[in-house]
Structure 1
Amino acid sequence: MGGACSRKRDLLDEDALHRSGRYSKSSSAKWLLLTLPRCNSNVSVREQGKCPSLMDLCLAKVREDIKKYGSFSVLPRDISQLIFNELVTSHCLNDVSLEAFRDCALQVDILFSLVQIDILIGEYPGVKDGWIGIVSSQGESLLSLDISCSDVTDTGLSLLKKCPNVQSLKCNYCDQISDYGLGHLSGLSNLTSLSFKRSNAITADGMRAFTNLVNLVNLDLERCLKIHGGLVHLKDLKKLESLNIKYCNCITDADIGSISGLTSLKELQMSCCKITDAGTTQLKGLSKLAHLNLEGCPLTAACLKVISGFPSMMFLNLSRCSISDDGSENFSALQKLKVLQKLKVLNLGFNNISDACLVHLKDLINLESLNFDSCSIGNEGLLNLKGLLKLKSLELSDTGVGSNGLSHLSGLSNLESINLSFTSVTDGGLRKLSGLTSIKSLNLDSRLITDAGLAAITSLTGLTHLDLFGARITDFGTNYLKHFKNLQSLELCGGFITDAGVKNIKDLKSLTQLNLSQNSHLTDKTLELISGLTGLTSLNVSNSRITNTGLRHLKPLKNLRLLTLESCKVTANEMKKLQLSALPNLLSVRPE
């Protein structure tokens, strides 16, 4: 939902969508990220007019008077747990109020969501070792802890020795935890899930601490860039089912032999590692693999011979590899062996493959998702997809597919999502989609699409997502939007919409995301018109004539979390006032 004109994608970073400016070191100075402490658990707002329960009222009162309480240790465990959760979800927990929970023996998992990636740590200054001292006082009752993005150090991690029953621990983006700190985890033998995403201080030597964690089922080391040679310390973790080493560009073929004996592995994430065809041959013994992600690895079609040994495979991502038509007959071999009959998701995007490859996919009848983004396929290649009747998602962005090719898709009645951006599909071609009434998501980012194209798809009344970012839709064309009452996400950024066109959007009450950026003629009137769309969580009206005066119309949008007004006549100070006075849920604001 960004305001940028260019929509071509670089290598996707899934968790980038959830990170705040604090974790994006290179975030633009132009995008001023305003973050304010907030207490958004007002009972009347949260319950949407419903009468709150007596317990809710009590919890709200305790939260309001939290400074009056020194300890909750005399309360029953379930009550103290409810109070703790109330403070966390309402963003009112701090180092003072946390002290009241010392020795409470909270029995269920501590949902430490205040420091998870999708919540700004700036709202909780001072989350460091002292907090862990109080948390660790829960002793054997502590089962789950997430200290991601905190300032906890090796010393704080050492305090978890008091909590031998911890099963899940997340330390993502913890910059101050080093190899020495990892050593304190070696005694937590009950750990089944451990995550250290983007922990640059962790090295191969520090991974020795994982040797004793024999009950680990899930291990996440995404973006740990110094662990080359460290996978050898995982060889005895026979219960490991999921291993994530995405974006660890230090990992090479030499590391793969260390995990070849982990026969319980079902999921292996290795995007952007330096794994070649030779490296994949060492995976042959992992017969239970169901989810394999090799996106961005320097592979060729030769790796498909190894993949044919994984009969349980359900998800296969070979995007941005060096797969080409040369060797694509390996797909045909897989069909003859019928070993990929469980495959549901196949991503071949950004590879040098053409229609010649698609003929080898026609027997994968259980496929539900197929991605050919930026491949050299055309209309005739789609003929091979006619038998994939379970297909729900089809990515054809930036391919040679045109209007004629869409006729081959007419029988895919289960299709729910199709991306036709940057293709040569025209208004007339869209009529061939009219019978695919199961479609919920449609991406038509193309200058070839006009008002007539929007008229051609009015039968797709189940649409919940419609992307017309670069389409030439005018105010007249917006009249056709009334057919899509279920729309939750709408991008209309071609530059031809004025306030008059927004009048046809104001009644789409199901909208949660609205992007009207690049329409330079929109004024403050637009904000007045959409003020009734109270379900909006994301709004982008960048590159328009919006001013500080129009901001008052946004006050009814209490659910708004992301507001983007780049290149508008608004100031950071006025945005801050709006956030403080009327929009308690607003997390990210991007003004001029």
Structure 2
Amino acid sequence: MSGVKLTAFIHFWKRAQDNEDSSPRGLSRRYSKSGSLKWSTTSFSHPLVEFHLQKGQCPSLLDLCIRKITEDIDKYGTFFILPRDISQQIFNELVYTQLLTVASLEAFRDCALQDIYLGEYAGVNDSWMDVISSQGSSLLSVDLSSSDVTDYGLNYLKDCKNLLALNLNHCDQISDHGLEYISGLSNLTSLSFRRNNEISAQGMSAFSGLVNLVKLDLERCPGIHGGLIHLQGLTKLESLNMKWCNCITDSDMKPLSELTNLKGIEISCSKVTDFGISFLRGLQKLTLLNLEGCFITAACLESLGDLPALSNLNLNRCNLSDEGCEKFSKLRNLKVLNLGFNDITDACLVHLKGLIKLESVNLDSCRIGDEGLVNLEGLQQLKCLELSDTEVGSNGLRHLSGLSNLEKINLSFTVVSDSGLRKLCSLSSLKSLNLDARQITDTGLAALTSLTGLTDLDLFGARITDSGTNYLKNFKNLRSLEICGGGLTDAGIKNIKELSCLVCLNLSQNCNLTDKTLELISGLTELISLNVSNCRITNAGLRHLKTLKKLRSLTLESCKVTANDIKKLQSTDLQNLVSFRPE
């Protein structure tokens, strides 16, 4: 990039700042440097830049300039002279548009970037690491997940002493040797190594010097048994994720007893028993504990009762029975309780009556019936209730009619029928309702018309006909709708086409739907996901989908459509489409 062009760009950038209304100095908030602080406590889920504008909104001068540079990226040799914030936004946009290559990366050498987000970006390997490390002390967060970076590549990061967050999930070429290179990054607050088969207990000794670590993620690392002893000095650690590490046993719990700042521990699907849980008694700040699939019984509740801050407890698939469940009454501060897939009955629910702070309860696939629901009547803070695959029927729903804060309820695979749905009409806060049941018909849908705040409605397997879709007009806020396996024809879709807020629509298994259905829903321009499988859709009908520019997922299995037909549509009109079937 020539000096003249750079000077012109800087002048242009300063004018853009002066013409913007937001602070500081008119710089749009999304260009601030707060991103690094945000990323250090998250899992780097998206780039910082976002150029998507609402209809009618004019892009700023800065937006337009950055877009133009990314389009002509091959013309520029270096961005070293640019202000750091601008270089950062150019980099982010190149990543977002998938235009960054190892060649164009060279232009960012020594640009003092703060955030390098390359998680799941194709082609990243050791050859990228020299430029990444050239950011030096400015570099604060790096995500190289699913890359081909090896132990050798990590060697480049050892001099980036101010690094706060490092994400190396699914990097299967990194082993104990690579950990040695990051052992000196003592400013790290967040470190993630999900799904790594090479890290061992011995290699974890490299973590002992990371004294500022707040968050450590070792999910699906099967070789770390015995390595938690190296965490004993990490007194600032607040979050530890070891889900799906089936090597973890009771002995691994003992070192955690000294980490008194721990607020969240996830050890699902491990070999930890009631004895191992006893080592957690002294963790007075612990708020979240995930024990899903562990070999524990209700006896562990004795230890959990000594955790005054515990608010989120997952005991899903732990083979609990009613025996010992009276100790649930000690967990007075619980807000989220997951008891799904356990051998508990209505007798267990008696001991939940006093847990008045509960906001979410999961009883999926438990032996719960109508009478047990009477114990939930006093849980006025309840927002989410999972009753899927239980013995709950229409009579039991009367006990839920007073839960005025209930926002989500799952009644799939229960024996609830049309008559029971009338008892839900008073739940004015309800937003999500799942009714996967053959007993539900048009009559049941009619009973729900007062629930105008619904945003998600799942009627998979319900016997809804064209007449029943008339009642959908009441649900103007619906964002997700599933009516699968019903008796719908094109005539019934005329009512669905009015639901302009829909983002997800699933009409699969309605075998009488034709290309006319695609024409009718062509105005639902907010759709991101569409499923019309097992219908009479043909290649000729695909032209009606051209208007659905936001569509990212399209499923047309068992239709008269081929993968090539969809690919043609993708290349010409649906450029945001990333998932489709048939493929």
Report the TM-score when normalising by structure 2.
0.90
Q: Contact conserved, 1:166 with 1:188, CA < 8 A, in 2?
A: yes
Q: Is 1:301 equivalent to 2:298 in the alignment? A: yes
- Offset of residue 46 of structure 1: 4.0
> For 2:332 and 2:318, how far apart are their aligned partners in 1?
23
Contact map agreement 2:88 2:115 (CA 8 A) in 1: no
Is the 1:406–1:429 contact (alpha carbons within 8 Å) kept by the matching residues of 2?
Answer: yes
2:175 corresponds to: 178
Equivalent residue for 2:369?
A: 378
Q: 1:90 Cα shift?
A: 2.2
SS at match of 1:260: helix
Q: Is the 8 A contact 1:42 1:60 kept in 2?
A: no
Q: What one-letter code is carried by the residue in structure 2 that aligns with 1:85?
A: N
Q: Distance in 1 between matches of 2:292 and 2:431?
A: 27
Q: Which amino acid aligns with 1:295?
A: E
**Which residue identity is paired with 1:48?**
K
- Give 2:475's match in structure 1, choosing from 479, 484, 494: 484
For 1:539 and 1:389, how far apart are their aligned partners in 2? Answer: 36
Aligned to 1:221: 218
1:14-413 matches, cutoff 5 A = 46-106=53-113, 108-110=114-116, 112=117, 114-116=118-120, 121=121, 124=122, 126-332=123-329, 334=330, 340-413=331-404
Secondary structure at the aligned position of 1:370 is classed as: strand
Q: Deviations over 1:319-338 (max 9, x none)?
A: 11021111112123x1xxxx
> Cα distance 1:294–1:166, how it changes in 2: closer, same or farther (>3 A)?
same
C-alpha distance in 1 between matches for 2:134 and 2:538? 52
Secondary structure of the 2:409 match is strand
Deviation of residue 48 (structure 1)? 2.7
CA contact (8 A) 1:568 1:591 kept: no
- CA distance in structure 2 between the partners assigned to 1:133 and 1:585 by the alignment: 33
Aligned match of 1:33:
none
CA shift, 1:47, in A, is 4.5
For 1:549 and 1:167, the matched residues in 2 are separated by 53
Aligned residues: 536
SS in 2 for 1:274: coil
List per-residue Cα deviations over 1:383-424 (Å, max 9, x = no partner).
111111111111111111111111111111011001111111
Give 1:522's match in structure 2, choosing from 513, 520, 531. 513
Q: What residue identity is the alignment partner of 2:145?
A: S
Using CA pairs under 8 Å that are at least 6 residues apart, name the structure with larger relative contact order, 1 or 2: 1
CA distance in 1 between partners of 2:447 and 2:509 (Å): 24
Unaligned runs of 5+ in 2: 1-42, 44-48
C-alpha distance after superposition, 1:99-149 (max 9, x if no partner):
11011112x333x1x424xxxx4xx3x211111211111000000011111
Give the match for residue 15 of structure 1. Answer: none
Alpha-carbon separation, structure 2, partners of 1:326 and 1:278 = 18
RMSD: 1.5
Write the distance in 2 (CA, Å) between the matches of 1:156 and 1:259: 31
- Separation in 1 of the partners of 2:353 and 2:50? 55
Q: Is the 8 A contact 1:192 1:216 kept in 2?
A: yes
1:76 CA drift (Å): 1.3
Answer yes or no: is 1:543 the counterpart of 2:534: yes
Residue 531 (structure 1) aligned with residue 522 (structure 2): yes
How far, CA to CA, are the matches of 2:50 and 2:562 in structure 1?
29
Q: Which residue of 2 aligns with 1:499?
A: 490
One-letter amino acid of the structure 1 residue matched with residue 119 of structure 2: V
C-alpha distance in 1, partners of 2:53/2:74? 23
SS of structure 2 residue aligned to 1:518: coil
Q: Which letter does structure 1 place at the counterpart of 2:536? A: R
Aligned equivalents of 1:568 and 1:208: distance in 2? Answer: 56
Aligned to 1:21: none
Q: 1:256-275: CA deviations, max 9, x gaps?
A: 11222111111000111111
Pairing partner for 1:565 from 547, 550, 556: 556
Secondary structure of residue in 2 paired with 1:255: helix
- The AA in structure 1 aligned to 2:217 is D
**Residues of 1 paired with 2:338 and 2:198: CA distance?**
33
Matched residue, 2:455: 464
Residues 476-518 of structure 1 show CA distances to partners (whole Å, capped at 9, x for unaligned) of: 1111100000000001102311211111111100000111111
1:153/1:310 Cα in 2 relative to 1: closer, same or farther (>3 Å)? Answer: same
1:447 to 419, 435, 438: 438
Aligned to 1:391, the other structure's residue is in SS state coil
Query: Contact 1:442–1:466 (CA<8 Å) still a contact in 2?
Result: yes
Q: Distance in 2 between matches of 1:133 and 1:573?
A: 41
C-alpha separation in 1, matches of 2:541 and 2:177: 54
The residue aligned with 1:13 is none
2:263, 2:68 → 1: CA distance?
A: 47
SS of 2:449's equivalent?
coil
After TM superposition, where is structure 1 displaced by more than 4 Å over at least 4 residues in a row?
none
8 Å CA contact retained: 1:295, 1:318: yes
**Structure 1's 310 and 202: CA in aligned 2 closer, same or farther, altered over 3 A?**
same
